[in-house]
A = this chain, B = another copy of it.
């Protein structure tokens, strides 16, 4: 038996008991006459004491030989501490050690095993097993486990069945960015790893399992942006015999339950906003509504006043930055530079100071008078002391730019409180999205999303105007879930494929099994998927997902700890009937 207790559980009630502990040597303080060792395990830290009065000199020597992160087992008597530490649960006691066994030695770790470590990202990833010993990572992984369990328990109690769908599926050219897996037994053929279990969950609905969920890994071989992973985890859900309202209610219930269970927060009904409104008010389909700064559109009041920049613009739109009138001219210039960075891409920024006395001072004073600015203030909700920032140009672009500015200002003003949670349903997404490069429309969500009733005809005349039964759940400015009511009619699915540019042959080759299934009594169905990595990070009050993934990959898709991917040997390639074809 390596331990009778963990390092996190001893308290005054154990005084005078003889216990055995095992763990890692966290810290050693040698004061000559007395040596303290902090012994650490998953559960906490217990202070070990060795002193000249009560400890044999051999044992003291042994203790002095310990190094950081040695694995030891100790037996001793729990005693009251002379100087108590109220900051840790075991702070009232210490262990007077009588026996010490070194279970394993340790080289000095390449970074300190502390909450605030001296190790940079790269070295921590290479030695991830040491990084996991640190509380912030360890606690994040335990938190993730707790969230997953809460999800499973809630959905199971609601009658959802967790079904494991296959990982070795079929590649679809349409779904570019599949990872593929050569089959040894089926020469020249490949499996693909699923980007999502979409078609399988729909087949489960056809199969009558009317409430399905799965916490499942998905894979996407795309050029990684920061904080994207080639493998990621979804809470994947689907229901049959439901309308959009049923699904929103079901997963609003789940989200409320999580907020209550893991954060102790109770939230009433989640607000809903159409995609069009979200774009209009926040320039963003996943607005962070923890703070205001709603967009005020100024076309009617700011155009046709001799200011040609605005007159030529498709959209003139501003926000009121709270307290922004305190900015110096230099600060405002820096802000203008910020919106002109290529990552944001605005051509310039017009501002208007809202003075405390109710007057206005703007960079475009010569085109507008005080009455005009009063209208700007009314449209953007600006109050005395605020700064109105106005951008103009192409509607889509200027909305994205002003949204970036709004988020940046919220960061600077510390309006994005990680312990505040503001969920929002964004509904009525467009069915199709124009690909600016190719000029073709493609499915905004995926090709199985159903258009709103009665809008199918628009597909021919104004495809971009067709709205879908599609919805996202947004939390604190992040899309944490999204889904739709699916098409369950074979003819409509065929029509949809046609509009997405599939020939009937292509549709059959790639999705024939689904269209076949729709011939045999497919019920109305729909669903949603949450991104678990992101959801857990947000619930954990973090912006980055990496600490919530045990063994994440870097931005090149590499696992630097195990050094993968790697070359494989020729024999293995030959068995797979493959040859490398490297362009050098």
Residues of A within 8 A of B (CB): 1-3, 22, 24, 40-42, 69-71, 103-107, 109, 127-133, 138, 141-142, 144-145, 148-149, 152-153, 156, 161-171, 173, 178-193, 199-200, 203-204, 206-210, 217, 219, 221, 223-224, 230-231, 233, 241-243, 246, 488-489, 512-513, 516-524, 549-551, 553, 556-559, 561-569, 572-574, 576-583
Contact = CB atoms under 8 A, between A and B. Distances in A.
Contact of A127 (B129, B180, B520): B520
A71 B163 contact: no
Contact of A557 (B3, B163, B186, B524): B186
Contact of A71 (B133, B243, B523): B523
A524 B2 contact: yes
A102 to B, nearest CB: 10
A270 B128 CA distance: 38
A204 B550 contact: yes
Given A42-B209, A559-B166, A564-B168, A577 B580 contact: yes
Contacts of A549: 164
Contact of A188 (B127, B187, B582): B582
Contact of A104 (B488, B551, B562, B564): B488
A69 B188 CA distance: 38
Contacts of A572: 171, 173, 178, 180
A580 B578 contact: yes
Contact of A577 (B181, B219, B583): B583
Which among A71, A512, A574 has the highest number of chain B CB atoms within 10 Å?
A71
Contacts of A573: 581
B567 A188 contact: yes
Contacts of A153: 149, 153
Contact of A129 (B41, B207, B233): B207
Nearest to A153: B153
A527 to B, nearest CB: 15
Given A2-B242, A209-B42, A106 B521 contact: yes
B565 A167 contact: no
A563 B550 CA distance: 34
A296 to B, nearest CB: 40
B577 A169 contact: no
Nearest to A127: B520
B564 A184 contact: no
6 contacts: A103-B523, A132-B208, A167-B219, A168-B179, A168-B231, A513-B562
Contacts of A127: 516, 520
Contacts of A193: 167, 181
Given A42-B210, A141-B163, A521-B106, A568 B179 contact: no
Contact of A581 (B71, B165, B561, B574): B574
Contacts of A107: 519-520
